[in-house]
Structure 1
């Protein structure tokens, strides 16, 4: 892991400071790791074709997801980033299943219930937790099987026993937030959340669940409450960075977006600047006990600031 460098002065309205450039050699190594990870992710997706067969899971999605992890953890290998990438890919499958494949609230509820049962350790038979019923959205069985694979891999790590509660809580927060967003999008009276309600549902993004999985696979460590506060703060920043970069796509797909609620773009950008400053403060607190985890969080935030200024992860519908 590279050492942190002093931040350069920035405009107070600019949410992300400029950073010292990465050398061509360093960038080459990072991109090589991302290439290895991309091949891994494509092979994992091939094992769940009913879940990842949609056109939106195009080659660029796997490439950019792998790059996000690799640039956030310079010095880490594809093996070091394996769990971050597996959990991230799983979250994209979950998001697709709830946002686009599920045709009813009953299907959404079934997805949430099955994922919770798998996380709690219930055995999976033919992709479905044993003794579970309810309607099945296309790919739901593979989603459960993939989560069971992740769960079992994490259980074999030394840090899982100490952080199992964190992992399980982050998963449930994400599941509940995705179901809540489905309700907002599907409201027959056309009413949606306020901006503050939407921002408070940032667990829908899945960032903190993915980070918790990476945290466990990396050996744990750090002050748990401090690391979680930093993770949640970064998640809120990434939520708004995503919205600023994907508003046109969200309009096309019918997704919720903070810029489409009760705030204009300038107000959202000002809020983003405040949230970014708060996140940096909380990351600095987490850094005292877990410098590598803190740097990973901060680099994720900064990577997303640059990335969403140009494009986003999803391919076309």
Structure 2
């Protein structure tokens, strides 16, 4: 299976008898890109507000635009304002990743960082001068302003906790690898079970809370389950695209665990087919969220076949 190939005809959207022409396609692309540009400006403003968090060279202007494009094309019917929390949570994760993967010198630093973040998630004040907790407090307040938040607060907190905890677990694996202890490295299944460090499940539940779409809210439990499976596919797609960079940066990648590209590609295909099976019963009753999750897979498959979100060190 070539995971970077275009979807086969059996997976192609069912369009009208007369497909859109070049003008229609350009109108659609231009509309979505306009929303992405507006969203990117908001992300640049966020980065300027928290320079200590986003001053790392690899988090550059291209990163902001790539995040904005991913969410705009993932929800092409929504405007930039509707996608603001998805964009901001995704950007926050870039800052978190940089601190955990490249700035922390000891496990205790990550544990302390996690405690600070969870305290803010639970309503505490951000640490003075700490862009990570300050930006998280802004995100928390926006999510909490939604009428859907009281019912889904525990879900939001759980997904954030999973994201933070996964970072600690990966730190342990990387430390073992650096020490030459291959017996402590995870199996592929263990590695994928830790895909919460990718963060998309937390982004998704944050987006769903702020959107407050009744059909989505009525099906949050199965959607979260599918979101975790989608996250596994995105983790592997990212790993296929970034192996050389991960080796150079000292990051962990599935291909460092004895998993070949063919095996990773086959596993991605299995996960995607499983996601389709899980999504099928929800399509009629929950069209917005099911399309949102499926577009995440399609967009990421194409995007990671060509590019990546991070800039150069």
1:226 and 1:289, CA in 2 relative to 1: closer, same or farther beyond 3 A?
farther
Scaled by the length of structure 1, the TM-score of the pair is: 0.88
Contact 1:194–1:262 under 8 Å retained in 2:
no
Q: Secondary structure at 1:126's aligned position in 2?
A: coil
1:81-96 to 2 correspondences below 5 Å: 81-96=83-98
Who is 1:118 aligned against? 120
- 2:22 corresponds to 1:26: no
- 2:154 corresponds to 1:152: no
2:272 corresponds to which of 269, 273, 276: 276
Per-residue CA deviations over 1:203-243 (Å, capped at 9, x if unaligned) read 01001000111011111523122111111111111111111
Per-residue CA deviations over 1:274-309 (Å, capped at 9, x if unaligned) read 111001122223334321011111101100000000
Per-residue CA deviations over 1:152-189 (Å, capped at 9, x if unaligned) read 11111111111111100000001000111011111234
| Unaligned segments of structure 1, at least 5 residues | 1-6, 11-16, 128-140
- Once the two structures are overlaid, the 10-residue window that deviates more, 47-56 or 189-198, is 189-198
Scaled by the length of structure 2, the TM-score of the pair is: 0.89
1:165 and 1:286, CA in 2 relative to 1: closer, same or farther beyond 3 A?
farther
2:160 corresponds to which of 168, 171, 185: 171
Across the aligned residues of Structure 1 and Structure 2, the Cα RMSD in angstroms comes to 1.6
1:289 corresponds to which of 276, 285, 288: 285
1:190 corresponds to which of 181, 195, 200: 181
CA distance in 2, matches of 1:38, 1:284: 33
1:253 and 1:180, CA in 2 relative to 1: closer, same or farther beyond 3 A?
same
CA distance in 2, matches of 1:94, 1:244: 22
Who is 1:210 aligned against? 203
Contact 1:174–1:205 under 8 Å retained in 2:
yes
CA distance in 1, matches of 2:73, 2:222: 23
- 2:295 corresponds to 1:299: yes
